[in-house]
Amino acid sequence: MHAVVESALGIDDGFWGATARGATFEGFERIEPGRHRRSGLKVLRREGDAVMAAELSVNWAYRVWRGLPTEGRGTGRPPLSPERVALTTAPLDAAAARWKGVPEGGELVWRWGTDGR
């Protein structure tokens, strides 16, 4: 969801953008050697507000796309306008179709900054 929505909305400072700049999260293992984990935590501290804003945007776009409640107790104010949400619908549909097409035991590779743009 994050890769699709962040790409569709041009969010470069969300979860994947921060990860590309070296942010680390608990449970992540780098495939390629990178900076020391402490540096990754510094990136996340510095960019945490933008990452959280992206989190809210992705969650909202997902809720709308799936037809989940977007009004009522606990939903809060929409972080995205209807026009911004509309930008995510076709990419989410396309990504879901890609995922559905992956055979059992297969994999789906998504290249940040390339796929979805």
Angle at 113 between CA 110 and CA 114, to 5 degrees: 60
Give residue 8's Cα distance to chain centre: 10
Side chain identity at residue 98, one-letter code = R
DSSP 21-62: TT---TT---SS--S-HHHHHHHHHHHHHHHHHHHHHHHHHH
Which residue has 């979805």 as its token pair? Answer: 116
Amino acid letter, 23: A
Residue 115 has pLDDT above 60, yes or no: yes
Q: Tell me the whole-structure pTM to 2 decimals.
A: 0.81
Check pLDDT > 60 for residue 36.
no
Neighbours of 62 (CB within 10 A): 16
- Name which residue leads in pLDDT, 76 or 108: 108
Please compute the mean of the pLDDT values over residues 73-86 and round it to a whole number.
Answer: 91
Rounded CA-CA distance 90/21 in Å is 28
Rounded mean pLDDT, 91-101: 95
Q: What is the mean pLDDT of residues 78-85?
A: 96
